[in-house]
Structure 1
């Protein structure tokens, strides 16, 4: 049976729809402009003729980026950081969240209080830099992984989710002789898959977009990740990052703006490809992790 809506409800829904469409346009228009610019000719970019559709369609910018060894080296470093960092993040998050979600852990409230304290007050940059340097992690990928190995916010989400799991199931497992570690990996981890996928997405995107860490801790060109490469390419148009070509040679083939846009598009593609496969688990995990019975 169709429920008749009042005029106020119709106006409210229409206003929400219009507002959401405006938000979508605010996000989509700059992205479409970058994609169109990366596929446009030099003359169109120089004369600012590109809006939301390519002008003088060509693939020269993408050909240049694909052949650029410096770009792929930075891309490989970022992939390595994402894989290793996300694995360490999830291992520490699960092992920390499980005991903190149980009332039998002594001092649990005090530990949670200290964790919440780190969410409100974070270490300044200079002490953090000195700490990383004192451990000898400068110019290593560990400087981008270890300092943020455990996110307090993500851990709180995981704790909230694990509290919703039935305690009777864990008691039955203990009666059958399972240790706490086996309970975590055989029962808790599989049942927590929705929130785990959500946290994997959070951690992976965080590593992929990490810019401040490499800017502070990485000076070796061989170890610069993708976001630091993009920063040098966009803000300074570093010729070594561009591939080492001379300005005259570069300008005869492509424009700096076109090269920057093509690099941004290629760097964004992996996250765009991965997200649709995780969207179902992401939404389910976010909803379950936000409701406490």
Structure 2
């Protein structure tokens, strides 16, 4: 027997649907706005009035992006940085988190206290810059790897998950002659796919989107990631618009702003494509430690 919904319940459901659709629109429209401008003639876009569909459709913006050798190099730097830095971060932080769970570790409480302090206080930009330059990582690709290999916040997340793994598994492995490295590699990591996917996504997005390190720690343009290159496009777009308004004539169909839009779409696509495959693990990883069994 079906239970009829009251008028108040129907109004409440309708309001929720409308409200959520409004939120979705506010979240998705900026992306759509960038997309239609990236697919429109750059000089036509500069005239304004472009809100829903491309007025003069063209692929020239994307062709120019992939024709530019500097952009291609920046993409390779970004891909290499994201893969290597994220993998190094997950592996190193997981190893430290597993080690810190061992009560027999000498100075364990001291290390944990030092780590907690770093979550709230940092040395600042200038001391960090001096350290990186002293270590020889300035204008070096390694500056994208070593400084981000460890995060105490991620260590806490790893530890919360590792505590849910039964100790009997480790004890049985030790009886069979396995050492800590073997237990970590063959038992702990395979059982930690959810938390690993969560940390991978967090740090992968950070390394892909970060432009600040490329500005501060590199002078060599061949080491600039795509986000730093995009930052340079944004900073030079005003002067390009000024020359356009002054009546400069060009045979091309793109402007610095349209190239900026196309580059933004290209840099967003990889993260959008990867996220659905990690989503099932991501939700579980976010709930780590929230429920006590």
Give the Cα–Cα distance (whole angstroms) in 2 for the partners of residues 71 and 203 of structure 1. 23
The structure-2 alpha-carbon separation of the partners of 1:220 and 1:79, relative to structure 1 and needing over 3 Å to count, comes to same
Identify the residue that residue 255 of structure 2 maps to in structure 1.
255
Distance of 2:146 and 2:76 partners within structure 1 = 19
Q: Please name the residue that 1:21 is paired with.
A: 21
TM-align CA RMSD: 2.6
Paired position in structure 2 for 1:226:
226
TM-score between both structures, scaled by the size of structure 1? 0.88
- Per the TM alignment, residue 285 of structure 1 is displaced from its structure 2 partner at its CA by 1.8
TM superposition shift of 1:214: 1.0
Aligned to 2:182: 182
Aligned to 2:155: 155
Tell me whether 1:200 sits opposite 2:200 in the alignment.
yes
5+ residue gaps, structure 2, are 240-246
CA contact (8 A) 1:29 1:52 kept: no
Q: Which residue of 2 aligns with 1:244?
A: none
User: Structure 1: 5+ residue runs without aligned partners?
Assistant: 240-246
| Separation in structure 2 between the aligned mates of residue 123 and residue 234 of structure 1, nearest angstrom | 30
- The alignment partner of 2:148 has SS state of coil
CA distances 1:256-281 after superposition (whole Å, capped 9, x unpaired): 22111111111111111111111111
1:122-146, CA deviations, whole angstroms, 9 ceiling, x for partnerless residues? 2211111111111111111211221
Q: What residue in structure 2 maps to residue 243 of structure 1?
A: none
Q: Distance in 2 between matches of 1:70 and 1:214?
A: 14
Task: State the shift of 1:16 in Å.
Answer: 5.3
Change (3 A) 1:111 1:44: same
Partner residue of 2:89? 89
* TM-score, structure 2 normalization: 0.88
Mapped contact 1:154–1:199 kept (Cα < 8 A): yes
When residues 7 and 253 of structure 1 are mapped into structure 2, their CA distance, relative to the original with a 3 A threshold, is closer
Q: 1:39 to 1:108 in 2, by over 3 A?
A: same
Task: Report 1:1-293 matches (<5 A).
Answer: 17-237=17-237, 252-293=252-293
